[in-house]
């Protein structure tokens, strides 16, 4: 599996709780330019405690690698969509999952955290079932409202970003804030329920 800053995942057990965990391994030499994103993700995950956000158990820093120990989940929303015969979710499933995403976003936004890279791959599912608990992950692009770089930089996946985040003149004039995540959430609804197959051909 790969994320913004990820390389691969290993599976293990927490010594303290005996829970199954996923260990995200990042090679420092291969991803040296991503160190800032790694520390941002760790700092943010240490600050948040919510059932709709993936839990970070620990982070270990060695000379060659970073190890992020996180809760182990089943799959992601994109995989759930692609395994459906019609390559889309039904209305009830879409509403159920989107509601959970919005609840998690409300919590993050209350703490002035904007995810900035919402997409089905970054919505993890706790179990293999039709109506699973969702958890947001991959906070390497996340920003805190008020950071100087927040409105100047382009972050996230272009297909899920609003126009003001992609066009320099709009970004400099108006900037963007929590609404960035809300736009991305709207695209997720479209991708999940309407036309996943054709989007895969375009993007």
The active-site residue out of 76, 117, 138, 181 is 117
Contacts of 97 (CB under 8 A, 6+ apart): 77, 89, 123, 134, 192
Task: Output b/e per residue, 136-154; b: 16+ Cβ within 10 A.
Answer: bbbbbbbbeeeeeebbeee
Q: Is the dihedral of CA 140, 55, 188, 82 positive or negative?
A: positive
Rounded CA-CA distance 118/38 in Å is 17
- The yes-or-no answer on residue 61 being catalytic is no
CA proximity to 55, closest of 166, 168, 136:
136
Q: Is 147 helix (H, G, I), strand (E, B) or coil?
A: coil
Count of beta carbons in the 10 Å neighbourhood of residue 45: 20
- Active-site residue numbers? 117
């Amino acid at each position: 599996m790969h994320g913004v800053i990820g390389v691969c995942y290993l599976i293990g057990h927490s010594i303290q709780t005996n829970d199954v965990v996923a260990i995200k391994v990042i090679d420092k030499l291969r991803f040296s330019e991503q160190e800032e994103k790694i520390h941002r993700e760790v700092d943010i995950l240490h600050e948040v405690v919510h059932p709709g956000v993936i839990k970070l158990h620990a982070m270990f820093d060695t000379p060659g690698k970073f190890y992020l120990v996180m809760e182990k989940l089943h799959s992601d929303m994109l995989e759930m969509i692609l395994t459906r015969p019609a390559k889309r979710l039904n209305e009830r499933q879409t509403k159920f999952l989107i509601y959970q995403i919005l609840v998690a976003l409300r919590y993050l936004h209350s703490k002035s955290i904007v995810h900035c890279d919402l997409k089905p791959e970054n919505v993890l599912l706790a179990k293999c079932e039709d109506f699973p608990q969702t958890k947001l992950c991959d906070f390497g692009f996340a920003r805190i409202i008020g950071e100087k770089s927040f409105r100047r930089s382009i972050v996230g996946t272009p297909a899920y970003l609003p126009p003001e985040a992609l066009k320099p003149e709009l970004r400099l004039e108006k900037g963007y804030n929590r609404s960035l995540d809300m736009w991305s959430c709207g695209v997720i609804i479209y991708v999940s329920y309407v036309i996943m197959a054709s989007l895969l051909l375009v993007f």
